[in-house]
Amino acid sequence: MDIFDIKDKVAIVTGTNSGVGQAIAKAYLNAGAKVLGVSIDDGCASNSNFNKNFVEYPADLIKQDGVDDIVQKCVDRFGRVDILVNNAGTIRRDDAINFCEKDWDDVLNINLKTVFFLSQAVAKQFIKQKKPGKIINVSSVLSFQGGTRVASYSASKAAIQGLTKGLANEWAVHNININAIVLGYFETANTASFRSDPNTNKSILDRIPQSRWGIPDDTVGTAIFLASHASDYVNGSAIVVDGGWSTR
């Protein structure tokens, strides 16, 4: 099973302060990889889930002017970059008729614009290293379904799938694989209000064949697969991890 081995690989993972990003970072570390974790605050550095192969880089990903510094910090600390996981994201809820420009721009900046420019910066590093690289973008089942009161979020996640395919087309010649993990309904801070409302919680669970919310650890197998040699001929794909939600 050496094709799934990511020992000594170097990954940049965004949004490691909680949830899915933290679970993926922990899984990579447990598999022997080194991780630069990017988060809005410094809340994860002292987390017992992390070890000496983890370094934290606090950054506000609503801005793109720091993406080169993120890559350089990783290279300075670990010597190279092998994997990028674009996990960090945000959501704003309001009726589309009332949705304000700031909320629209904030979501698109974090969920799409920074994803592109950080991917670009990492791809340049891959090419400079003359080594293969893996980029994993985190999308959502709302890229297939518009949802309600989340116009900017669903638009950004649909765009992520288009971006994943476009970058795969252009960068495959450099042995760079870009794929997406499409998440269903997970137990994260973004879904706390849904889970606490009995009616909403029931309506969501009724549509999930596995009859439970996803937990962050449900993502790690796919994240390791897409970071390893096992996925070397997988490019521009979107792997759905949703307990079957999108089948109904």
Distance (Å, whole) CA 86 – CA 166 = 16
Who contacts 244 (Cβ-Cβ below 8 Å, separation ≥6)? 208, 209, 210
Of residues 37, 130, 44, 32, the one with CA closest to residue 80:
130
Residues paired with 171 in a beta bridge = none
Which one-letter amino acid corresponds to residue 231?
A: S
User: Would you say 59 and 41 are in contact if contact means Cβ atoms under 8 Å apart?
Assistant: no
Identified catalytic residue from 28, 57, 153, 185: 153
Q: Is 153 a catalytic residue?
A: yes
Q: What are the residues whose beta carbons fall under 8 Å from the beta carbon of 58, sequence distance 6 or more?
A: 38, 39, 40, 41, 42
Determine the angle formed by the axes of helices 114-129 and 151-171, rounding to 10 degrees.
20
**How many alpha carbons fall within 13 Å on the CB side of residue 131?**
14
What radius of gyration, in Å, describes the C-alpha atoms of the chain?
A: 17
Residue type, 77: R
Catalytically active residues, by annotation: 153
